[in-house]
Amino acid sequence: MPNRIRMIRKDRGMTLADVAEACDPPTTAQTIGRLETGTRNLSLRWMEKIARALRVEPEALMRSEAASPAQIIARLTSAGAEALAEPRDALSATDLGGEGSLVVLKVEGAVGEYRPGDHVWLRQLEPSAAARAINRDVLVPRRGGRFAFGRLVDRQGKRVGILPAGYGEKQVVVDDPAWIGVAEMLVRRL
């Protein structure tokens, strides 16, 4: 997910090592670099740590200061499209209610019903809440920086079974995942 960590860090005149040292507990410059480039997942916990280190509100790490919110200007009915009397702000993915941080999966190749360019917004759940995600598309972290994505079809103790989104693939079992990201919204360009 795009973030503003690098921009804020540079505005403050801080290096990656400075931010890493200012975190409580301190971390490594490599970790901060991975978080700001998006190669490592920016969880809510990391957002709070980095925001404290940079002396900003956690939301400032995610919002764009330059972009105004998209406006809903029309509605479509069986009679056709018509203008709204009063335009209003459109729902932003970050406005989705609920607990747990949001993460995004960018689809770069056709997989099952997903098309290249799709963005799948997922809400992170604790593994203990896996029952709420049965028969839903999920993203689950695996060891070695990999992920499993597909339909959550089974849960036994600390193990979850995922049926990959591609056709004819075998079930993947992930033992004791750190979190489960449940698909909440699909963003697709037309």
Coil vs helix vs strand at 94? helix
Domain boundaries, the chain: 5-61, 95-187
Contact criterion met (CB below 8 Å) for 47 and 23: no
Answer whether CATH 3.40.50.720 is correct for domain 95-187.
Answer: no
Tell me, which fold does domain 5-61 have in CATH?
434 Repressor (Amino-terminal Domain) (1.10.260)
Q: pLDDT by residue (tens digit) across 27-83?
A: 999 999 888 877 788 888 898 899 999 988 887 887 555 555 566 767 777 777 777
How would you label 67-102 residue by residue, b for 16+ Cβ within 10 Å and e otherwise? eeeeeeeeeeeeeeeeeeeeeeeeeeeeeeeeebbb
Distance CA 152, CA 189 (A): 26
What are residue 116's DSSP bridge partners?
none
User: What are the tens digits of pLDDT across the range 159-168?
Assistant: 999 999 878 8
pLDDT tens digits for range 110-137: 888 888 888 898 888 999 888 889 999 9
How much is the pTM? 0.58
Mean pLDDT of the residues in the chain? 84
